[in-house]
Amino acid sequence: MIHVIASLQIKEGHVAQFIEIFKANVPNVLKEQGCIAYAPTIDIAAGLAAQALDPKLVTIVEQWNSLDDLRAHLAAPHMLAYGERVKDIVVGKSLKILQNA
């Protein structure tokens, strides 16, 4: 199993719009072969000294059975359509692809 942490910087004032578009695609992704978990998350204030809050950051938490499943996910037609819908409101992104230690 692999874990994916995708950090997406969203254009100011567009986080709610992004989450709406993202959540509309979640059922499609959960039907994909190898998808274990796929959910958007946003920062909450926890009052912890080490926490860095970013109101324009959406973090996608994913789990996949394999790298091949993840690669197929990224090329799926519904993901290509989703990418087109959000391309003007996502201003930056980073990916962490992880395995259990």
Output the domain CATH number for residue 74.
Answer: 3.30.70.100
| 8-state DSSP, 76 | S
- Please give the pLDDT value at position 86: 97
pLDDT digits (tens, 9 = 90+) for 44-56: 999 999 999 999 9
Structure tokens that stand for 28 in this block: 């499609």
- Report residue 88 as tokens: 């003007």
Number of domains in the chain: 1
The model's pLDDT over 19-72, given as tens digits with 9 standing for 90+, comes to 999 999 999 999 999 999 999 999 999 999 999 999 999 999 999 999 999 999
Instruction: Give CA 98 to chain center in angstroms.
Output: 14
Q: What is the pLDDT of residue 57?
A: 98
Identify the three-state secondary structure at position 60. strand
pTM: 0.92
pLDDT at residue 2, as a whole number? 97
- Determine the structural domain holding residue 89 and report its residue range: 2-45+53-99
- Number of Cβ within 10 Å of residue 26's Cβ equals 14
